[in-house]
Amino acid sequence: MRRRQGSPGVLPGIDARIIDVAPRRRRAHPGRRARLQPRPPYAGGHDRALWQPGDGTGLHDCTVGGIGASRIGRLVLQRLLAFDVRVLLSDPTLTPAEAALLGAEAVEPDELCRRSDPVTVHAPALPETHHLLDRRRLALLPDRAVLVNTARGSLVDTGALTGECVSGRLSAVLDVTDPEPLPAGHPLFELPNVLITPHLPYTA
């Protein structure tokens, strides 16, 4: 049975290596933002006035939290370690010794939220993971933290995340949402600190 492009599904094997780089292809790091404004339809060099530079925040010397140590989660971890970051992992199937072998520290979800600058989500959609990142846990994230979700939309409380992003306290990169797609006119579509892609990471 052939699956239509863009339809939901599980991406095993080599596809995991494709999906894990999607957030980096879409935006190298959300803290380092430059939004391209509408440009007049004429040829010529770049006009500096059309670019709005961000604050230059990068991955150097930061702590990255990974929720889920699945195949994709571990591939993301391998790439993050190349940036000399500290990595926290939260996964009920992962022991501290296993996390240490991966170059990470195993922690509970609450501690991960308190200590992480960006948080990247790679857990499955299960009854026990529904709204794993709820209003209480999102409030634990440090100011200016970034949430990246390329897993399943139901893991994040969309209403709570919307409030945090509208306030400007958090930023988000979302390849999945709950509901999916978000209704037309949803506030997350209009925010400069939110990037939403249409559940197509493997085409990045």
Catalytic positions are 152, 180, 199
Give the separation between CA 99 and CA 90, rounded to whole angstroms: 9
Nearest Cα to 130, choosing from 160, 164, 153, 159? Answer: 153
Report the C-alpha gap between 130 and 148 in whole angstroms.
Answer: 16
* Amino acid found at 183: P
Distance CA 129, CA 152 (A): 10
Phi, psi dihedral angles at 96 (to 5 degrees): -55, -40
| Contact between 191 and 165 (Cβ < 8 Å) | yes
- 5: how many CB neighbours lie within 10 A of its CB? 8
Phi/psi of residue 67, nearest 5 degrees: -100, 110
Task: Identify whether the C-beta of residue 37 lies closer than 8 Å to the C-beta of residue 60.
Answer: no
Query: Strand 51-53 and strand 171-174: pairing?
Result: unpaired
Return the structure tokens found at 173: 């990169």
